[in-house]
Copies of this chain bind each other. A is one copy, B any other.
Amino acid sequence: MEPLTELKQRLAEIADVQRAQSVLAWDMEVWMPPGGQKSRATQLATLEKIAHVRQTDDRIGELLDELEPQRASLDPDSDDACILRAARRDFEKLRRVPAELAGELAQVQAESHQAWVGARETSDFAAFQPWLERILELRRRWIECFAPYDDPYDVVLDDFEEGMRTEDVRAIFATLAPEISALVVAHASDEQDEFMQGPFALDQQEVLSRELIEAFGASWDAFRLDVVVHPFEVTLGVGDVRLTTRYAEDDLTSLFTAMHECGHGLYEWGVSPRLDRTPVAGGGSAALHESQSRLWENVVGRSLPFWRWFYPRVRNAFPDQLGNVPLTDFQRAVNRARRTFIRVDADETSYGLHVILRFELEQELVAGRLAVKDLPDAWNARFEELVGLEVPNDRLGVLQDSHWSTGLFGYFPTYLIGSVLSVQIWEKAREAHPDLEEQFERGEFAELHEWLRSNLYVHGSKFTPAETIERVVGGPIDSQPYLRYLRDKLGTLAAA
């Protein structure tokens, strides 16, 4: 067999096993009866082991070496050149970590997550502390596998934003932190929008959610929408995109969840089918992925033109609750800046402050400058500075997110970078099609969808995140468009 054919065959089978893992994980969250938990964990561990053994097989390294001359002669933008680049990167990263350490991390993370669930329920940080200490100890040993590095945080960040450096994030967040804080100080309100508290019948919320997903361009031939505890999106194959959501009677969050997960789904659905079963078949990076969920949820889904189209439908579904509420009041309500404790409930404006807090603390933890036992105090002090609220307990503070319990460090910053990118990308799309917002008022999103598909989605992760961003917006990450967008929106809402 030709070396390139053999390599691609091996990569394709690894991709198939990973998709199978995703099917098992999706089923576990969506349909599995509770009694299946233990068997499913074992099945997932076996598939993970099979994938890992294949990914780190010596033969992959031999093939990559054999193919080095061929790679050098390829057009660097060609699929094959990009696949070889990504395969080399994945192989070398995975080979750096001894199998025992990877196994120990996986094991401890699973147990630690269980400990976190219990600790959060009872707001008992002390119960979680030894687990987080153990996780950090293992994570630091893992980081050492990638020495030398400039900053240990560079190593964890690289898993989600290849090539991005901690100092880059620091620079972006240094601009954002005071500006967002100032916006929150100027605009945050405790006003209750009674009409946003329902009750909103769940079946009507589902009808509206499905209408949005269709309007954004998804086809039910390739998409599903199901209910889970913690919504997510996962792609199980070409033409097989699974969105999940949740409904609550006392708010309309589900509409934004539907748009958010749909954004993730449209991205993966739009990747060129030529890249299927290769290491570049997913989104460009965690932040690029998040840019698309946030573009559809926030930039589109909280805009006035969008609500000019959709509000009559929502009002029609809930005439008792919204019949007397004018469009401007409704749109203000879904954009209102607030001071809140929980990141996932935060409004679009203050959300960034929650991310900045976590990014700061993660760096200290990973570098070993902050002891785990001192984490709650550090969290509470910095939270008060950034958001202006005193944290009453750890459940509303340091214990709220699952990420650290599963060893996920370096992921949080991608949420805010995604927001920043969402506005940069949106502005380029609007440059190309100045009448997009008029289209939104008519419920038309096809031109935006197509622009995003052909300029961003189609590439998958062929290019590095920085290259992908350069291609789509013509320059590097820039926080100014995002800040301008927030200022404009809040200013307009205040003036209305």
A interface with B by C-beta (< 8 Å): 12-13, 16-17, 19-20, 23-24, 26-27, 31-40, 42-43, 46-47, 49-50, 219-224, 226, 236-241, 276-277
A47 to B35, Cβ gap below 8 A? no
Q: Within the complex, which residue of B13, B23, B35, B223 is in contact with A27, where a contact is CB–CB below 8 Å?
A: B23
Number of copies: 2
Contact A46 B17, beta carbon cutoff 8 Å: yes
Task: Please pick, from B33, B219, B226, the residue contacting A220 in the complex, using a CB distance under 8 A.
Answer: B33
Residues of B within 8 A of A223 (CB): 33
Q: CA A387 – CA B178 in complex, angstroms? A: 86
Contacts of A240 in B (CB 8 A): 32-33, 35-36, 39-40
The 3 closest A-B pairs by CB, nearest first: A39-B237, A35-B239, A36-B240
Q: How far is the CB of A163 from chain B (nearest CB, A)?
A: 30
CA distance A308 to B165 in the complex (A): 74
Partner of A219 from the list B13, B26, B31, B35 (CB cut-off 8 Å) is: B35
Complex CA distance for A467 and B277, rounded to whole angstroms: 46
- Inter-chain contacts of A23 with B (CB < 8 A): 20, 23-24, 27, 43
CA distance A451 to B47 in the complex (A): 37
User: Which of A26, A40, A221: most chain B CB closer than 10 A?
Assistant: A40
CA distance in complex: A24, B20 (Å): 7
In Å, the complex CA distance between A8 and B224 comes to 39
**Do residues B222 and A36 form an inter-chain contact, with CB atoms below 8 A?**
yes
CB of B20 within 8 A of CB of A236, answer no
Q: How far is the CB of A51 from chain B (nearest CB, A)?
A: 10
The answer to whether A222 and B17 touch (CB under 8 A), given A23-B24, A27-B27, A240-B40, is no
Partner of A39, one of B40, B50, B219, B238: B238
Q: How far is the CB of A448 from chain B (nearest CB, A)?
A: 22
